[in-house]
Structure 1
Amino acid sequence: MRIAVVLLLAALSTACAVNPVTGRRQLMLVSEQQAISDSKEAYVAEMTQLGQKGKLSQDKALIKRVEAITGKLVAQAIKFRPETESWEWSVKVIAEPETVNAFCMAGGRMAMYTGLIEKLDASDDEIAQVMGHEIGHALSNHTAEKMSVAMATSTGVALLGVAQRDNPLAVSAGAMAAAVAVQLPNSRTAESEADTIGIELAAKAGYDPRAAVTLWKKMAEVSGSSNFDWLSTHPAPGKRQDALAKLVPKMEPYYRDPAPRPSYTLRN
């Protein structure tokens, strides 16, 4: 046991990487490529199960709307990290009107729940802020970071153990770790990074940065009336709206730029 502890401490002391966007040092017991592989397995299994249950939206207009917004964001994301052009960027709309949630896993696989749009009566600008924020997590390698933290903490190990005992998706331990990582709360540092990246992605894609502030106002107003999963994994400290409001003037030139806004064709 002592040897195992020593080896774990040694691994933790050396398993560091640098956030590819911000330059912040991160604990990395899982490589980004491994996180992408595990996330793909978890995502495909989850979407397959949701499809079998009839929970993938068939609303063509809504799907087109989400894809159009997300495609513009991804085009900007690739400018942040050109190597991500090879990611399998895709988005699904999950038909759960009571669930306010969205995510982007390692490798660019995304989902948005209809509850987020319906409960918030979200504008295109606000949807762009949500998805830009989620893409910011992926660009910053937060999935691998959360998987690493989960592996290094008793809470994460316990959650993974429960997930493996009750595993309806029949996926590998790595995929379960990726799925658990999505469910774990983000650190304030990770949230700040995703906020900053997301509002810039959205502004450069042609979406009003002021929507980042109105989005969180709406979140606060309706958080007690629905299954607010997004707040459980995206803690919102009181100063968050103020921090986003301070970023708005810096984002305005990107938003006002008259240049064409390219779009990326998402995979099905």
Structure 2
Amino acid sequence: MKSFLALFLSLSLFSAAPFATARGEPASVQDGINVEEGSRLRKLVPAQQLEEQAAQQYAALKKEAAQKDVLVPENHPQVQRLRAIAKRIIPHTERWNERADQWPWEVNLIALKEVNAFCMPGGKIAFFGGLLETLKLTDDEVAIVMGHEIAHALREHARERMAKGSLLSLGATIGSAVLGLGDIGQAVVGQGAQLWMLKFSRGHETDADVVGLDIVARAGFDPRAGVTLWQKMSALNKSAPPQWMSTHPAGKNRIAQIRKHLPSVMPLYAKSRGTTVAALSPYQTNVKGIAPVK
């Protein structure tokens, strides 16, 4: 059986399912991105209980990572960088979920070569070293990843999937596959491991992408970095595809959908920068061969 961490990674940003239209309650009208509300079924699962279980699992993951000496210290420059980006993004989360204002947000970095990241319900975020190092992400690109993962939590996708009964068998081991902990993780997983034994739907992936663009644009990060991020991912896929990309390729459709939503979020970004969309320069990433994004 796959470990809890491996399964959780399969539902994070890099599951990269094709885009689809989210379905549920009528969309609310606002500036920026407009999406439909999630299914009312999610209300069958108590949000507080879900967040408490997530916090327990996150604490167990940190403990296991620390024991394996792969939990990066708080004073490390990359940890400080991630937390500084999160600090700018978090104030813009409450518009999408009123509980977010009370979440005990936390951001940590795990020194493994996994090219991934996630955010649990309740604002528990983790990045893996391989994501930053392999893709050489700019701050804007980091924000795109973080915004997507945070959007999953804000939009309560795990809660909705639980309510719909999309659970697999119990007994997952936190960190076993990635951290090499064998049966040790089973002793600390506690209740609620089943929360992560799921995959998000195509609609959820769409939802997280577009809501994430909205959040990062308001925080002053360039949403056009979503295009360059996935161009980098495509290049990685061609050279040495990780397991998750061999089964869930990003494809051109994701970039096309990001471009489609840029007109909705670029005014937010321009406003955060105190300028106009027309006055913005094209976005240029830090890797040669990737053209500027207008």
Confirm or deny a common fold (TM above 0.5): yes
State the one-letter code of the partner of 2:203: T
**2:162 corresponds to 1:157:** no
Residue deviations 1:205-257 (CA, integer Å, cap 9, x gap): 0111110111111111113526455x589763541110101111221111111
1:217 to 207, 225, 231: 231
Is the 8 Å Cα contact of residues 185 and 234 (structure 1) preserved in structure 2? no
Residue deviations 1:108-163 (CA, integer Å, cap 9, x gap): 010011111111111000000000000100000012223344xx35xx333x2455
Counterpart-to-counterpart distance in 1, 2:262 and 2:59: 36
- Given the two structures, how large is their TM-score scaled by the length of structure 1? 0.77
User: Residues 111 and 258 from structure 1, CA distance in 2 versus in 1: closer, same or farther, beyond 3 angstroms?
Assistant: closer
State the one-letter code of the partner of 1:99: E
Provide structure 1 residue ranges, at least 5 long, that are not aligned to the other structure: 1-16, 261-268
- Displacement of 1:185: 2.8
Counterpart-to-counterpart distance in 2, 1:31 and 1:227: 35
- Displacement of 1:46: 0.6
Counterpart-to-counterpart distance in 2, 1:90 and 1:205: 18
State the one-letter code of the partner of 1:72: R
Provide structure 2 residue ranges, at least 5 long, that are not aligned to the other structure: 1-23, 29-34, 175-181, 275-294
Question: Which residue is 2:101 aligned to?
Answer: 85
1:204 to 208, 218, 225: 218
**2:145 corresponds to 1:130:** yes
User: Residues 79 and 216 from structure 1, CA distance in 2 versus in 1: closer, same or farther, beyond 3 angstroms?
Assistant: same
SS in 2 for 1:157: coil
User: Residues 257 and 228 from structure 1, CA distance in 2 versus in 1: closer, same or farther, beyond 3 angstroms?
Assistant: farther
- Displacement of 1:198: 0.3
User: Residues 66 and 163 from structure 1, CA distance in 2 versus in 1: closer, same or farther, beyond 3 angstroms?
Assistant: closer
1:139 to 136, 142, 154: 154
SS in 2 for 1:220: helix
Counterpart-to-counterpart distance in 2, 1:234 and 1:200: 24
User: Residues 143 and 258 from structure 1, CA distance in 2 versus in 1: closer, same or farther, beyond 3 angstroms?
Assistant: closer
**2:46 corresponds to 1:31:** yes
**2:70 corresponds to 1:55:** yes
User: Residues 121 and 169 from structure 1, CA distance in 2 versus in 1: closer, same or farther, beyond 3 angstroms?
Assistant: farther
Question: Which residue is 1:251 aligned to?
Answer: 265
User: Residues 258 and 140 from structure 1, CA distance in 2 versus in 1: closer, same or farther, beyond 3 angstroms?
Assistant: closer
User: Residues 169 and 211 from structure 1, CA distance in 2 versus in 1: closer, same or farther, beyond 3 angstroms?
Assistant: farther
- Displacement of 1:53: 1.0
Is the 8 Å Cα contact of residues 221 and 269 (structure 2) preserved in structure 1? yes
**2:195 corresponds to 1:168:** no
Question: Which residue is 1:265 aligned to?
Answer: none
Query: How large is the RMSD of aligned CA atoms in angstroms?
Result: 2.8
Counterpart-to-counterpart distance in 2, 1:255 and 1:190: 24
- Given the two structures, how large is their TM-score scaled by the length of structure 2? 0.71
Counterpart-to-counterpart distance in 2, 1:232 and 1:44: 30
